[in-house]
Amino acid sequence: MSEVFSLTLALLAGVLLGAFFFGGLWWTIHRGLASPQPAMLILGSFLLRTTVTVTGFYIALQGGWQGLVACMVGFLVSRIVVTRFIAVPREKTAKRLTGGAL
């Protein structure tokens, strides 16, 4: 029973890591458009998001490869949920990128 609990915990950790990573990516891109120094914002965000995520995967790996796999599955599930939650219709995105010239 302890193994099931640890795998469930690793899966939940993966979901949280994915939400942090992809939510942070969305926030960075959203804020970077209006930032006076977008390169610094994007680089800093990348380093922070990657460090936290890799550390979380490393901790999940301490429970064995099964924990790492469960964590990665949770991370990918979170990616799907976050990208569907913040999805912008293609037409609106195209207008924003072209300055409304469509």
Distance CA 14, CA 61 (A): 12
Distance CA 21, CA 60 (A): 16
| C-alpha triplet 11, 2, 78: angle, nearest 5° | 5
pLDDT in tens, 66-89: 999 999 999 999 999 988 888 766
pLDDT in tens, 19-72: 999 999 999 998 888 888 989 999 999 999 999 999 999 999 988 899 999 999
DSSP the chain: -HHHHHHHHHHHHHHHHHHHHHHHHHHHHHHHTT-SSHHHHHHHHHHHHHHHHHHHHHHHHTT-HHHHHHHHHHHHHHHHHHHHHT---HHHHHHHHHTS--
